[in-house]
Amino acid sequence: MALSPSLQNLSVTSVANGISNTTSRTRRRPSLVVHMATSDTSIGTFEEGRLVRPKWTGHTPISRLVVALISFKPLYSILKLGARQVLISTAEKNNIPWREMAKEILESDAYKELESIRDHSLEYPDYYLNPFHGYDEGNLTWLAAAEAEAATLSMVRRAIPDASSVDEANQILRGNWLQAIEQHHLKYTKTSMINDILDIGCSVGESTRHLAAKFPNAKVTGLDLSPYFLAVAQLKEKNRAPRKHPISWIHANGENTGLPSKSFDLVSISFVLHECPERAIVNMIKEAFRLLRPGGTIALTDNSPKSKILQELPPVLFTLLKSTEPFIDEYYLTDMEATLRQAGFVNIQSILTDPRHMTATATVPY
Ligand SMILES: C[S@@+](CC[C@H](N)C(=O)[O-])C[C@H]1O[C@@H](n2cnc3c(N)ncnc32)[C@H](O)[C@@H]1O
């Protein structure tokens, strides 16, 4: 695995100065700037805000006010509708044909994949059965599965607004995330081999496909709780050119996968944890520790509490966001570094890999 020149210049900050524990309040911290080398897939400078986490999260008065407003059912229904309309119209203005993409999936053969992938004996954790992202049945519907790719691209576009196209934004966001993983693995693993990769919370397979492209010699497995998302992922794979190692898709809970211990070199959990309560975050990190071989790498990528842009999100946007993300406060209050350390990980690092998101990486000791 050759280290690209741009990656050699990527500067990494330790998370040690980062997120405080679950009981502490939002407080001021010195402003920091994380620099990344300029290259085809990196975007210069991602600025950190001055707080430990955004004021609209956690136990602050503004956060509590928004939660109280959202819990008022009639207002929640209006917000849910508003959030959906804003998402779709913003996506389409940004050349992401949301409704067209969803229609194509809904009219495809994805439903034929469902039974080959669904584990009927799987028990869903309670949190997964809540209304979510504006869908009353959460991720357990065809509509959520049909809209997942457009929603993911919109998130990518929001993160990299200066990119010249959605494709470029995707290359930058995913490229920086993969570079952070590669750099960590090369630095801390004796053999630097990546033979087996698990993508927990793979959704319709976007992150899984990026991992497979970056590490073409590895066997890659995508795992998710939604059989609808997995059916779409499997169909998309069937419709593309065959790979040296076909991706495997597993319908399971990332908190307790049932997969053999020490069977992966890399476990990635990307854009999943902000959708989970703290208990599930802790369980998934412990499960990743069990699944990794000694020297193996865990990579978490998600909203950065330190992101200046997220700390300065306008009230309308954070209210809409909180109305569709029921566990966002628990995510922001979870001390990721402590959780990784308590699970047994070492070499814990974190970097802003785009203006909104951090990638935290850590190693299973030998
Ligand atoms: C935003 S999507 C992730 C997107 C994808 N990893 C990417 O980077 O594009 C979050 C996914 O996490 C899945 N998820 C949530 N809790 C899970 C759990 N306990 N086990 C497995 N998957 C879970 C959801 O079904 C959903 O597909």
CATH of the domain at 81: 3.40.50.150
The verdict on the CB of residue 302 being under 6 Å from ligand 1 is no
Q: Which range is least confidently modeled, 70-79, 127-136, 139-148, 233-242?
A: 70-79
pLDDT of 353 > 70? The answer is yes
Determine the average pLDDT of the residues in 241-251: 96
- Our mutation pick for probing the ligand 1 site, out of 275, 284, 291, counting the most ligand atoms within 8 A of Cβ, is 275
Determine the average pLDDT of the residues in 217-227: 98
Average pLDDT, rounded, for the chain: 86
Beta bridge partners of 46: 34
Beta bridge partners of 189: none
pLDDT tens-digit map of 270-308: 999 999 999 999 999 999 999 999 999 999 999 999 999
The verdict on the CB of residue 228 being under 6 Å from ligand 1 is no
At 131 the pLDDT is 81
What DSSP designation does 275 have? G
Domain, as residue range, for 143: 5-363
pLDDT of 35 > 80? The answer is no
What's the domain count of the chain? 1
Determine the average pLDDT of the residues in 229-236: 98
CA distance linking residue 84 with residue 81, whole number of Å: 5
Backbone angles phi and psi of 182, in degrees to 5:
-60, -45
At 317 the pLDDT is 81
Closest atom, ligand 1, to C-alpha of 125: 19
At 316 the pLDDT is 78
Q: Are 79 and 320 in contact (CB under 8 A)?
A: yes
Residue 113 token pair? 């994949």
pLDDT of 61 > 60? The answer is yes
pLDDT of 41 > 50? The answer is no
pLDDT of 20 > 80? The answer is no
pLDDT of 15 > 80? The answer is no
CA distance linking residue 143 with residue 248, whole number of Å: 23
pLDDT of 33 > 70? The answer is no
Closest atom, ligand 1, to C-alpha of 272: 10
